[in-house]
Amino acid sequence: MIGTVYKSTGSWYDVKTETGQTLQARIVGKLRLDDLKSTNPIAVGDKVDLMLDEGGTASILSVLPRTNYVLRQSPRKKHNVHLLAANVDQALLIVTMIEPNLKPGFIDRFLMMTEPYNIPVIIAFNKCDLHGEQEELEYNFYKTVYENINYTVLHCSAHTNEGIQQLSALLKDKTTMIAGQSGVGKSSLVNAIQPGMELRTSEISDYSGKGQHTTTFAEMHDLQMGGQIIDTPGIKTLAFNHFEVMDVAHNFRELFAISKDCKFADCTHRNEPQCAVKNALKEGWISEHRYQNYLNLVAEVEDQNYWERHNHM
């Protein structure tokens, strides 16, 4: 029997079968998956093979091959990754210009998680009813930058319902992973799309891994109009200890597209001669904003790798 994982609570999983029944299920034996050093072997959104047990529970025998997955560095173990979701059609990143202010580089950090699998991303700027002239100017700047590289950007307000219809149309009949920093109004936005939907995931602290004392990492909810959303915990920070420099270079899509014209195959687009990316930047084909975020991420990954190497010698 095949089912979809809707929720994980430590050792138990809520799995919905193809007939719509929800079962409590546990893993049987040791599941080795891919070669991921993952803190959680099964993600919300995974399709699993089940066997019914006596007493109405079920055993998970195996995980079916994934079409994709989204992972982040584990909040608890630096060298491990944490699977946020699997088998998603798209991701919805909710951000705000104000209350809370958008962290510089946050959007590009998030896209580093979705880009390895070419997962389409909708970037929804919530609380646009709070925008003054300055916020509106900044919003238009971001809209131009990200629409130019084929991401969908929306102006939304759960308060005034602006953009809600457009967002609902994009979510209909799709499995969408939803993410955002804490305080961006994820719950109110989802509630505007489907009144009465309760999102309960709490934040996981990146420092202690303790968070607000919950083991619920993500949870899938059905949409009445068709489709599902996978709600993920509020993100405080995103680190990329598990990345190398070329991982960063390959996952900035417009840099990657142009990099085939660079003189060197392993060009990092910084000081190398005959770099097609640097030329495109000079000519205005590549956004200075994105390029700066790219340099910051590359420097961070290099520092981290240097520190790791020298501390293990």
Whether residue 87 contacts residue 67, with contact meaning beta carbons closer than 8 Å, is answered with yes
> How many other C-beta atoms lie within 10 A of the C-beta of residue 38?
18
Instruction: Identify any residues that bridge with 121 across adjacent strands, giving them in sequence order.
Output: 91
Measured CA distances, 188 to 13, 163, 191, 196 (Å): 26, 13, 5, 10
pLDDT of residue 306: 65
Residue 71 pLDDT class (50, 70, 90 cuts)? confident
Beta pairing class for 90-96 and 121-126: parallel
Q: Which of 60-64, 74-78, 111-115, 258-262 has the least mean pLDDT? A: 74-78
Residue 309: pLDDT band with limits 50, 70, 90: low
Q: Which residues pair with 124 in a beta bridge?
A: 94, 154
- Residue 196 has a pLDDT of 85
Give the other-Cβ count within 10 Å of 74's Cβ.
22
* Sequence-distant (≥ 6) Cβ neighbours of residue 53 within 8 angstroms: 59
What is the chain's mean pLDDT, rounded?
Answer: 88
Token pair recorded at residue 292: 């700066």
The confidence score (pLDDT) of residue 177 equals 96
pLDDT reported for residue 214: 39
Q: Tell me which residue of 271, 259, 263, 260 sits closest to 299, measured CA to CA.
A: 271
DSSP 8-state code for residue 54:
T
User: Band of the pLDDT at 215, cuts 50, 70, 90?
Assistant: very low
CA-based angle 121:71:17, to the nearest 5? 85
> Is residue 122 over pLDDT 90?
yes
In this prediction, residue 2 carries a pLDDT of: 95
Q: Which region among 37-46, 157-166, 299-308 has the lowest average model confidence (pLDDT)?
A: 299-308
What pLDDT, on the 0 to 100 scale, is given for residue 90? Answer: 98
Mean pLDDT value across residues 65-77: 83
**pLDDT over threshold 50, residue 213:** no
pLDDT(200) > 80: no
What pLDDT score does 255 carry? 97
Contact 51, 58 (CB under 8 A): yes
pLDDT single digits (tens) 171-189: 999 999 999 988 899 989 9
